[in-house]
Amino acid sequence: MERGWREIPGAGSPSLAQAGPLNGLAAFDVNNDGHLDLMGAGNQWGAEVETIRYDGGTGIVLLGDGKRTFTPMSVVGSGLFAWGHVKDLRVLPSGPDGRPWIVVANNNDAMQVFRAAPPEGLLGQR
């Protein structure tokens, strides 16, 4: 790894980001403020018989402030609702309008596609 950032989380860690496993994680500027934000989605439905499946996640958007602090957005605020057995999340290059596509791959189910909506960068499902 050429560059990285490792920090042991302490008080203030976003508990919303820990509702379930994150199988897909992307870093990009969601709200067009010049700071990298994080977007993740997951869930795990293939847990052992004696363990409940991890299906509490709906996806998460963490807004970065450029100072290594991230604030979680609500599902309503972000527009990201990745409810399924998510296996991956990718941000695809934007078109001529500069708005990226966010693709969520669900195991044995339909993919979900979201598009950033200018100028705030909040998402809308397609």
* 89 in any annotated domain: yes
Name every residue whose Cβ is closer than 8 Å to that of residue 116 and which is 6 or more positions away in sequence. 30, 94, 99, 100, 102, 122, 123
The range of the structural domain enclosing residue 112 comes to 17-125
Mean pLDDT of the chain: 79
Cα-based distances in Å from 31 to 8, 10, 13, 87, 112:
26, 26, 21, 24, 20
Q: What is the pLDDT of residues 70-108, one digit of tens each?
A: 898 888 888 888 888 889 999 998 778 778 899 999 999
pTM of the entire predicted model: 0.77
* 80 in any annotated domain: yes
* 7 in any annotated domain: no
Q: What is the pLDDT of residues 87-97, one digit of tens each?
A: 999 999 877 87
Q: Which residues pair with residue 26 across a beta bridge?
A: 39
Domain count, the chain: 1
Q: Where are the alpha helices (DSSP H) in the chain?
A: 75-78
Q: Is the pLDDT of residue 29 over 60?
A: yes
- pLDDT, average across residues 21-34: 88
